[in-house]
Amino acid sequence: MFKRLSELNSGKKATIRSFENEELFIKLMEMGCVPGEIITIEKSSATRDPITINISGYRLSLRLDEAHTIIVEEFI
């Protein structure tokens, strides 16, 4: 099932499927966030902004509005 990255809770895994924001896609692609990559939600603050993900062996913090533009397929 496809969801927005911002909808996932800590500890969940997902595969990146697409991006809604072309500028953000280019920025994230340079950091290894490309469709097909598996990510894990590491943690989020009490307000859930920012969230920390693990991708390709490193941690990346994203603002909630950035995470909202990333479409993922959650592992069940």
Q: Which domains does the chain have, with CATH numbers?
A: 2-74 (2.30.30.90)
In this prediction the pTM is 0.88
Q: Which amino acid is at 28?
A: L
How far apart (Å, rounded) are the C-alpha atoms in residues 44 and 58? 16
Closest alpha carbon to 70 in 43, 51, 44: 51
pLDDT of residue 72: 97
pLDDT of residue 22: 86
pLDDT of residue 32: 82
Each residue's pLDDT expressed in tens, for the chain with a length of 76 residues: 899 999 998 899 999 999 998 888 898 888 888 999 999 998 766 667 889 999 988 999 999 999 999 999 999 8
